[in-house]
Amino acid sequence: MSTFYDKIRNKEIAPIGLGTWNMGDDLRKQDDEIQALRHGLDLGISIIDTAEMYGNGRSEKVVGEAIKGRREEVYLVSKVLPSNANFDGTIRACERSLSFLQTDYLDLYLLHWQGRYPFQETIDAMEELKNQQKIKAWGVSNMDVSEMQEILGSTSGSSCETNQVLYNLSRRGIEYDLKPFHDQQKIVTMAYSPIEQGRILTNKTLQGIADKHQVSAAQIALAWVLSHQNVVPIPKSASANRVEENFNSLKIELDQEDVEKLDLAFPPPTRKVSLEMI
């Protein structure tokens, strides 16, 4: 089972997050989205993941409403767009996100993907934000091994805490070299889209294992991600019922037979593949 240590609060927290992609896009759903996030906090989920790109700030505003009065319960993650990731742009983007989120600091701030600005310039801005206490830590997203090597080789690059990437049963390419690299460097792998936006849930093998454990196929898919050390899945969680279902996947223990069946249905990589993104 994966674990996640919150260095800020000096304690281990649930190794699963609340994703917020598309939240805030439909005003009719906003109350339910806020309630879903609050229910996650009630259950003991601390990690909430958002980004300035999500709804052009609308998702951050939903999160800001959800965490009012509960900021110390939250490990709050947001991301800067590559188009904003020069030194001054990163500072401004972070300050804008803090305004939308109604808080004065982020626990983790990520570069969303590689853009035209040099990594060093973005890293310098991240370090300045740390100095200003506007962020506690920084990381990246959608980076492959070569990008990670460049980042870690930059001045202050060793401060990179996380790489958030696409990872689920049907997208296992990172297991070939990126995930081992993360583990070697003690970098957390955050896994977005851990159930492939639901597309894998009709797989008969997955459904069979779900029936065996008397849970949903989505819970088995999440339990599989959670079975890997140093991985934190970030499923989107727009309803309280789904949040609870996701949280309960932490209690599922897959046996060796389950793992072998899933490996046959969703084979691990046998060669290097380009990093996938959605």
Indicate the annotated binding residues for substrate.
112
What is residue 5's three-state secondary structure? Answer: strand
- Residue 25: exposed, middle, or buried by beta-carbon count in 10 A (0-12, 13-18, 19+)? middle
**Cα Rg for the chain, rounded, in angstroms?**
18
φ and ψ at 94, to 5 degrees?
-65, -45
Which one is catalytic: 54, 75, 117, 192? 54
- 118 token code pair: 């040099």
If residue 109 lies in a helix (H) or strand (E), which one and from where to where?
strand 108-111
54 as an active site residue: the answer is yes
What is residue 264's three-state secondary structure? Answer: helix
Residues near 255 by beta carbon (within 8 Å), at least 6 away in sequence: none
Q: What angle do CA 215, 217, 218 make, to 5 degrees?
A: 100
Helices (H), the chain: 30-43, 58-66, 87-101, 119-131, 145-152, 178-185, 204-213, 217-226, 240-248, 256-265
Strands 4-6 and 11-13: antiparallel
- Binding-site residues: 112
Any idea which residue has 């309630």 for tokens?
A: 35
Active site residues: 54
